[in-house]
Structure 1
């Protein structure tokens, strides 16, 4: 969600030329264009495009995005201003700002983070995030933490928004159209990443076309670009939510909160919110999967170090570093691009087995797998374990002409 929000803000800011009432209208218009694009893609059953994002790329993308989200939350946790830019720029800015750390803010943020992590391990059934938020509000109100330099959420407007269509021109819509494609791709990739991640945990399947239709419907009805969020999905899942009923309950509670309870959250320290987000996102930094990819696809399996012999690890790292260095959309394209290039490379170098005849039954088997098979004098029998097309034709021709000798 953070990546989609950042990308949306950049597109709207460029189109509006600055903050103002027109920015709100453009934000709603962007949501409509993204909703239409996603809805059409879902109805046209273009969800197969998600297959371009391989599992290693998706893992690398999720890890990179999770680390970027954590880097964005750390300044709030320490009570410093922080910086903008990519993951490394944010971390460097944080290191430079550590001298201005607020002790009360660190106590609130790190305390909340530690409480959630301890409860998650010691009492998994206890809603640690809810307890941390409740305690944060109570402590901030009793000890007046805002007067001690702790940033709080602050004033929240009460009431429900009004319904209507965004007041924008055709030229505005045209300017948003190109950006909406990028937002749709990022929203779809981020949402699908979260969906697949937790679908694997709970053992159910995800229909990419339905995800697109859901994304489109949400965009058309929300007034702002929305999508599945890694961080919020993690919070939802860790709280025990497993069905769509959680969304209905959240919507009902949101309405009640907007009407009657906004005052309570005005005293919530930002550091506590940062602790909740970090606690939810940190488990998405699945370094074990990356290490496993590296170990499985090394020349000497079982060792942590060596030369990677398969491209999946390279694609995962490319996606992860792409997100961390170039932001979400470029990182996604880098991961997909590397994945496709490596796919083309592998398809251009198919496995070619030389066959020999098995004694007794006359059947053919690979010589390197069946030592009892025998070559036919004067004949080379090759089995190409892939479809033959222009990308691998030259290699197959070379193997047939001179690469194998009886």
Structure 2
């Protein structure tokens, strides 16, 4: 950011294409020449006129109206973070505005990271393609089989969300198979691996056949090192969801069974 003694001067430097400290020297010489040569002409100008020039330089130079419109169209969250930063700048000053904008952005980043998207998938009719049922409610589902897709990483901040969702699925007595679609998972840590081990244990106790699908190489290597793949069984890790579902529908029923309520 080209800086020249004040917010309005910095804005003007930026709008005129300043790229180095030479711009500050040039603008300083220009101001000195203006004071010497043009001071008599400017002395009669009303102060509101000079104030309007400074406001125009700051507002139009430091706030990109076109970018604000784009943010409002593309992402409402980014738009409101930008609005909050602008208001904070006007009320508290530039440094406070920048700090508040950064803080709001970090809070949003933490929220997104700790609330991964977990979608239930259905199969497009006549194909092997599985899609989000919320977006394609007419897609067909396989009786007794639930396909879950997780987007993001499986780590300490998201592991509990995954475990809770799988536990809710396992409660359903009509479910005999679960496929976890990991194509959107590009990262896992030790806590995530421990949670997947717990998910395997829960599925085994519930008598539900659990399968993994489309596990990325880096994630699979971590799960192998922690013994997760060994506990699940390498034959229950499939290249895509279609293969996992076919394996579920043709496999022998699980050895464990649910206890019927008395």
* Shorter-chain TM-score range: 0.3 to 0.5
- The structure with the largest alpha-carbon Rg is 2
Higher relative strand content:
2
In the superposition, the TM-score normalised over structure 2's length comes to: 0.48
The higher relative CO (CA closer than 8 Å, separation ≥ 6) is in: 1
Higher relative helix content:
1
